[in-house]
Chain A
């Protein structure tokens, strides 16, 4: 079955750029929307943004100035870059799938903890 796996550094220094990759296995990245969602400690889930396999994107207004999401269909991967991070960006980061014309997420990765600290 299709699985999602997040990967990337677990520790990032303040003011640097957080970079994560989500690998889609067992299925194609085509014809879906792919999102990044995070869960800060003690808070609720926060949608960061999505990318369509064709490359079109949509970002949360609160993070838009710092976020870039890209896709590599040849590797069945999509990636997140979040610049100028602070301690407030410490969270478990999830990648998730959404079907076209639907607004809910039917498949998620297990998540990866990213800590922002010097």
Chain B
């Protein structure tokens, strides 16, 4: 199965700053990569699919890039509601697999 590795495990950022999260696949997943946001006690929310397409209702400050094995989620100016855990997921091969997550915390 494809192993997804996210880095860093924790990212400390001040509100208003830019956050850059990485996700690496153990083999190429083409552009079949999604990002999710999860807050405690809430359902995970789809942010990005197809590596760079924002899901419905997702603010423009969230952007995704990359293809093959290297992907990035960028949050251009962190808002208070953006402090959460972010997961990547590949959809190129079964079984579908997820990264271990990056926690974005307030600096």
Hey, which bits of chain A sit against chain B, CB under 8 A? Answer: 4, 37, 43-47, 58, 60-62, 94, 96, 102-111
Determine whether the beta carbon of B41 is less than 8 Å from that of A105: no
Check B32 for interface membership: any CB of A closer than 8 A: yes
CA A43 to CA B94, docked complex, whole Å: 20
Determine if B18 is an interface residue (Cβ-Cβ < 8 Å).
no
Within 8 A of A (CB), among B18-46: 32, 34, 36, 41-46
Q: A110-B41, A111-B43 are in contact. List 9 more A-B contacts (CB 8 A).
A: A44-B4, A44-B101, A45-B87, A60-B95, A61-B1, A103-B34, A104-B46, A105-B34, A107-B43
Interface residue from A37, A44, A61 paired with B99 (Cβ < 8 Å) = A44
Q: In the complex, which residue of chain A has the Cβ closest to the Cβ of B42?
A: A110
A-B contact pairs, 29 of them (CB 8 A): A37-B98, A43-B100, A44-B6, A44-B99, A44-B101, A46-B98, A47-B95, A47-B96, A58-B94, A61-B95, A62-B95, A94-B43, A102-B91, A103-B92, A103-B96, A104-B34, A104-B46, A104-B89, A104-B91, A105-B34, A105-B36, A105-B89, A106-B46, A108-B43, A108-B45, A109-B43, A110-B41, A110-B42, A110-B43
Is there an interface contact between B100 and A44, defined as CB atoms closer than 8 Å? yes
Contacts of B95 in A (CB 8 A): 47, 60-62
Per the bound structure, the CA–CA distance linking A15 and B8 in Å amounts to: 36
Residues of B within 8 A of A105 (CB): 34, 36, 44, 46, 89
